[in-house]
Amino acid sequence: MVMKYAKTLSIVVLSLLFVLPIAIAAGEFSVQVEPVKSKIDTKGEAVFDVVITNLALKGQKQFRLYTLSYPSWDIATDPLENPIILSVQPGTEVSRRIYVKSLDVKQIGHYVVDLNVRDVATDERITVNMDISVVSKEGTVGQYVPTVIADVDMPEEIDPRTELPITVHLSNQNILDYPNITVILKSDAFERSITTSLDPDEQKEVSLKTGLDPLLPPGEERIDLSLVVGNKVITGPLTGILRVLPYAEIRVVEKKESAFIKSKTYEFATNIPQYDEQIKIPIEGFANLFTNAVPKAKVATDGKSKYLVFTPSLESGNMRIRTTTNYLPLVFIIALAILAALLYSVYRSPISAVKSAGSVEKKGGGLTRMKVILVLKNRSNKAVEKIVVHEQVPNMVEVDAEVSLGTLPPTKILRHQARGSIIQWEIGNLDPSEERVLEYRIRSTLSIIGDFTILPSAIRYSLNKKERVTHSNSVVA
């Protein structure tokens, strides 16, 4: 943003400047300011005619007139209107006389007072400068009126966390020598001044940087520029607008990592008053299962991304968040799983015994015949010796001696009145990965209603000259 402020170039130039009308057009309206009386003393009142033209093809427009040069200057109408509102029909123009009163101007010199015309409906604004010369009641014969042009360069908008760079271009328009001229920049957010010298007809640049309050809320910040020699203001105060940008940012301020524990400290900062949006921190994969946050957070998913979500609790626009991801429980679970697998591989039975039922026959809704199959397999890398299988069959059924081709017939079938039938197979040895299939059939003269259970088989064997026992599963038919 460039703010241009000027003192009088010369009496001749100023005379021309003060009598020429100034016209500026925007999208749907234009503003023209015609000076009626622009030379006043410190207690006088300047007069300007303002002409507003509604360029729209249809629709009446209302325009508000105001100045940002207050409290040094104020504008008024006769009769008094507050606020000053002009209604303009489409394709027509309206003129209003404006009286500009100095409220806090005590020095002679050239002043620029802004007049802002704003479309009430669209908020579109045109700013026109009204040039006013404050002269001595006794006149200026035999003396020079201080005349310095000030041209200020600074950004139109700024993040308040950064420094504001300002360059002031000074141009001495007459033969006065200023060994000490002070440039004062003042706003509600800061006040800075810098003193320099200015030779006759000299042009000079003065640069400075000023820090802003990081919590400065977003909006328009008014900045006044004044040039002071001794105790007298020779230019200004002149006004410009700086737009303060909003921000809301979270960043990592501390990070600690070890083999299995990671912790981060975040700082959230914003200059937005009453900030109420959720604060999000991205989190990867299943890390949320092992992450603890202070303050407490919820886990949210947005597409394929996961976030820790916090409700803002700000103190002076800031909030600290700490997250700790501890993978030790996961490491402990994996270690236990590996240990369990190792123990199982060491202590599990080298013989797998899987029992199943087949060829089930039913009569009258009940079981009458069934085939039972037991598959033995050596799943170790060593031979298993002296394998003997014992099978107990309930006494409500009878065992057929008939076996299928390719299966090993029982060595013994013993019948006990109370315990039922006991079937025994003497397998001998099983080499690694070798398999045996045992089979027998049962029948019942009466139909068995409901579930019928065959108990697990007991398999005795010798491994590394040690006697051991394992069991198969049971079968329910």
Q: Check which CATH number belongs to the domain holding 92 and give it.
A: 2.60.40.3880
Regarding whether 156 and 75 lie in a shared domain, the answer is no
User: Does any domain span residue 249?
Assistant: no
Regarding whether 471 and 371 lie in a shared domain, the answer is yes
User: Does any domain span residue 252?
Assistant: no
* AA identity, residue 128: V
Q: List the domain range (segments joined by +) for residue 8.
A: 2-134
The number of beta carbons lying within 10 Å of the beta carbon of residue 286 is 10
CA 366 to chain centre: 69
Regarding whether 359 and 413 lie in a shared domain, the answer is yes
Regarding whether 54 and 111 lie in a shared domain, the answer is yes
Regarding whether 99 and 9 lie in a shared domain, the answer is yes
Higher pLDDT, 459 or 443: 459
Are 266 and 318 contacting, i.e. CB atoms less than 8 angstroms apart? no
User: Does any domain span residue 143?
Assistant: no
The number of beta carbons lying within 10 Å of the beta carbon of residue 437 is 13
Regarding whether 266 and 163 lie in a shared domain, the answer is no
Regarding whether 445 and 356 lie in a shared domain, the answer is yes
Region for residue 259 given its phi and psi (left: phi exceeds 0; alpha: psi -120 to 50; beta: otherwise): alpha
Q: What is the pLDDT of residues 265-313, one digit of tens each?
A: 999 999 999 898 999 999 887 788 888 899 999 998 888 889 999 999 8
Please tell me the total number of residues recorded for the chain in this structure. 477
Higher pLDDT, 449 or 179: 179
Regarding whether 103 and 155 lie in a shared domain, the answer is no
Are 182 and 197 contacting, i.e. CB atoms less than 8 angstroms apart? no
Regarding whether 49 and 100 lie in a shared domain, the answer is yes
The CATH number of residue 465's host domain is 2.60.40.290
Regarding whether 268 and 156 lie in a shared domain, the answer is no
User: Does any domain span residue 50?
Assistant: yes
Regarding whether 231 and 274 lie in a shared domain, the answer is no
pLDDT band at residue 23 using 50, 70 and 90 as cut-offs: low
Residue of 217, 226, 224, 222 lying closest to 241 (CA atoms): 222
Regarding whether 164 and 268 lie in a shared domain, the answer is no
Domain stops at, among 295, 328, 361: 328
d(CA 48, CA 66): 14
User: Does any domain span residue 343?
Assistant: no
d(CA 355, CA 35): 112
User: Does any domain span residue 385?
Assistant: yes
pLDDT band at residue 22 using 50, 70 and 90 as cut-offs: low
Q: With pLDDT > 70 as the criterion, what percentage of the chain qualifies?
A: 90
Give backbone dihedrals phi and psi of 84, rounded to 5 degrees, phi first: -90, 110
User: Does any domain span residue 142?
Assistant: no
Q: What is the pLDDT of residues 51-74, one digit of tens each?
A: 999 998 889 999 999 998 888 889
User: Does any domain span residue 346?
Assistant: no
List the Cα angle 36/40/44 in 5-degree steps.
105
User: Residue 370's pLDDT is what?
Assistant: 83
Name the burial class of residue 467, with classes exposed (0-12), middle (13-18) and buried (19+) by CB atoms within 10 angstroms of its CB: exposed
What is the count of structural domains for the chain? 4
